[in-house]
Structure 1
Amino acid sequence: MPVLSRRAMLAAAPALALPTLVRAQGAWPTRSIRLVVPFSAGGAADSSARVLTPRMGETLGQVFAVENRTGASGSLGGLEVARATDGHTFLWDASSHIVNPTLLRNLPFDYATAFTPISLVVLFPSAVAVKADFPARTLAEFVAAAKARPGAITVGTQGNATAGHLGLLAFAKVAGIEVIHVPYRGGAAAAQDLASGAIDAVFTTLVSAGPVVDSGRARFLAVGTTERVESRPQVPTIAESGYAGFESNEWAGLFGPAATPPAVVSRMYDALAEAMAVPANRQRLIQIGCVPVGSRPADFARFVAEGRGAMATLVREANVRAD
């Protein structure tokens, strides 16, 4: 966690930034809006941002400049926004936002106080998929196989401390199974090894595993959303497969710096909601594997706070490390 002196600096930062933001509020926005995505271009989070920002820019009368600032599990991009005082810099972050506070040490900012939540934009459903010749056809059969051979079934994820890894840990706990975690550098790499038969299963995003399932080299057993996914309506949820209340997904959300005025938050949210209401945008989000959400700021703030607490408990109990 951040050392005391840096926490003190962070606590002072909003007070220093506030006058600048308040002055900009009346005519906001007065110039292009910088949207920092702390992940690679072409990835799920980046792609969802690029679907929606053109229409958001039209609504607000300014161009959105999407900037990929990668590194340190997304915290480098987070830092860029946490220290922004220009009133026109925002963050398009993912689930690492609620994991990093526990996972990373000596961060130069505090995730809990450095940002203003604006909206949970989309979910990227997690999914359990198995290789084509794996005997299980349902999640119940997969759990039975894992219990019959504890510590023998291999399950790939996007990597250590990723949403897939944490989702796998949570599911293994509620299902009472022991499997071998195989971390990869991304969900696509895990899916390719699933397709070749090198691993038995994956717990990764629906979009990452989709191509190998569509090719017939793997099959889905369940998804991690609370309701069935529009793009894969035939795949049951983990919750309806015997684990009521279970949910595990990657997501993308919109944040501003801590001192973002309420009027600016409202305008950003309204622009986002309008962009998400465009049928072509909604369909494109679904096509790239998203579940559109567009939650209100207060709801997103609760989601982030609750998720941060849950992830802190899971990371500590499972002794998860970044490396």
Structure 2
Amino acid sequence: MRQEHTIDVPRRRFLAGGLACAAAGAMGSAAWPGLARAGSFPDRPITFICPWPVGGTADQSMRALCQVVSQDLKQSVVVENRAGAAGMIGVRALTQAKPDGYTIGQIPISVTRFSQLGMLPLDPRTDFTYIARTSGQTFGIAVLANSRFKSLQEMVSYAKAHPGELTYGHAGIGGATHVGMEEFAMAAGITLTAVAYRGGAAALQDLLGGQVALLADSSSWAPHVQAGTLRLLATWGEARTPRFSDTPTLKDLGYNVVVEAPNGIGAPKGLDPAVAQVLEAAFKKAVESPEFKQVADRIDAPVMYLDGTDYQKYIASVYDHETHLIERLNLKALLQSS
């Protein structure tokens, strides 16, 4: 009996330990299902919604990031362009997707404005899962090389003498290029006529074709400026861009206007935190990669990385700024008249 007892005790301990492990495993997958899912995420291709047309600077930036993320996660990240309404068509599609990590996309910073204008039925401070802020954009005002305007000051003088005569192309009503140009016009005391396009690439083509006098856009104009077919009158950043250091900023010229509109990556509200962590780590690596830096330098997109938590805080601060900007520009009336 004594021998049976000495054999049976460790045996019972082994069986009890096995049952405990099994119970813990069952409880783990039931109580923390996200951890189990994140362990195999992603196990199929991811769709990335880009709310801008193919070929624009934002599209180029997002495609470069998605390519690196695809290599890191060992799954395809398929870019799907859903352009229109100054980026809001793509944003709406993102909000309607299942929050499982398999549909993500770029969230333009202008969501902070459109939500307050009633054009986007959500609160961007709480209704997305933010993954990362990636890079900014270099906005500027460009004209044809044979334009009468050799400087921004000459353009402003002409516009004051001929209110409303000068037309400018931009990437969509209420978007960064539209609102930024109107903010500048207000600061300069001039009136310009805005012409909206579905994206900066289309606006650029009409400038090159002489259909509009000015272009307000991110750096789609850059290769044409370097080639000598366009002239850059001013950029809109806090500081001059390295590649075009001879071109003044609006602040250099005495206008207290700064527009950078950084790009961000997000997912629908309700994404599992463990899945969000996988995506956040992958996009952080992508932003820091030499492949992305090469593209960012080419399109004059300064890296402005923030993780998901800090990016959400940034969104909240921009939301407050936009509240005042909407009032100052009387933007609701401007949109209605457009």
Same fold (TM over 0.5): yes
> Which residue of structure 2 lines up, in the alignment, with residue 46 of structure 1?
59
Q: CA deviation at 1:239?
A: 2.0
Q: CA deviation at 1:219?
A: 0.6
1:38–1:68: 8 Å Cα contact kept in structure 2? Answer: yes
Look up the equivalent residue of 2:163 and give its one-letter code.
P
* Cα distance between partner residues in 1 of 2:271 and 2:172: 34
* Cα distance between partner residues in 1 of 2:192 and 2:44: 52
Report sequence identity in percent.
30
Secondary structure, in 3 states, of the residue corresponding to 1:40?
coil
> Which residue of structure 2 lines up, in the alignment, with residue 99 of structure 1?
113
Look up the equivalent residue of 2:238 and give its one-letter code.
T
Q: CA deviation at 1:166?
A: 0.8
1:81 aligns with 2:81: no
Q: CA deviation at 1:127?
A: 0.5
Look up the equivalent residue of 2:237 and give its one-letter code.
T
Distance 1:29 1:185, change over 3 A: closer
Secondary structure, in 3 states, of the residue corresponding to 1:120?
strand
Look up the equivalent residue of 2:255 and give its one-letter code.
Y
> Which residue of structure 1 lines up, in the alignment, with residue 17 of structure 2?
none
1:286–1:292: 8 Å Cα contact kept in structure 2? Answer: no
Q: CA deviation at 1:159?
A: 3.5
1:45–1:94: 8 Å Cα contact kept in structure 2? Answer: no
2:84–2:198: 8 Å Cα contact kept in structure 1? Answer: no
* Cα distance between partner residues in 1 of 2:49 and 2:263: 12
* Cα distance between partner residues in 1 of 2:169 and 2:268: 35
2:125–2:312: 8 Å Cα contact kept in structure 1? Answer: no
Look up the equivalent residue of 1:303 and give its one-letter code.
Y
* Cα distance between partner residues in 2 of 1:184 and 1:74: 11
* Cα distance between partner residues in 1 of 2:160 and 2:76: 54
Q: CA deviation at 1:73?
A: 4.8
Structure 1: unaligned runs, 5 residues or longer:
1-17
> TM-score, with normalisation over the residues of structure 1?
0.78
> Which residue of structure 2 lines up, in the alignment, with residue 280 of structure 1?
291
1:290 aligns with 2:304: no
2:84–2:172: 8 Å Cα contact kept in structure 1? Answer: no
Decide which structure has the larger Cα Rg and report it: 2
Q: CA deviation at 1:313?
A: 4.4
Q: CA deviation at 1:283?
A: 0.9
> TM-score, with normalisation over the residues of structure 2?
0.75
RMSD across aligned positions (CA): 3.1
Q: CA deviation at 1:262?
A: 4.2
User: Which is worse superposed, 213-222 or 144-153?
Assistant: 144-153
> Which residue of structure 1 lines up, in the alignment, with residue 250 of structure 2?
238
* Cα distance between partner residues in 2 of 1:27 and 1:128: 47
Given the alignment, which residue of 119, 128, 147 partners 1:115?
128
* Cα distance between partner residues in 2 of 1:30 and 1:150: 58
1:206–1:223: 8 Å Cα contact kept in structure 2? Answer: no
Look up the equivalent residue of 2:103 and give its one-letter code.
T
Secondary structure, in 3 states, of the residue corresponding to 2:252?
helix
Q: CA deviation at 1:247?
A: 1.5
* Cα distance between partner residues in 1 of 2:324 and 2:306: 25
Look up the equivalent residue of 1:320 and give its one-letter code.
L
Q: CA deviation at 1:126?
A: 1.3
Look up the equivalent residue of 1:124 and give its one-letter code.
Q
1:184–1:190: 8 Å Cα contact kept in structure 2? Answer: yes
* Cα distance between partner residues in 2 of 1:86 and 1:260: 6
What do residues 109-152 of structure 1 show as CA deviations (whole Å, max 9, x unaligned)? 54342202222212222101233344443333433333344333
Look up the equivalent residue of 2:59 and give its one-letter code.
D
Structure 2: unaligned runs, 5 residues or longer:
1-30
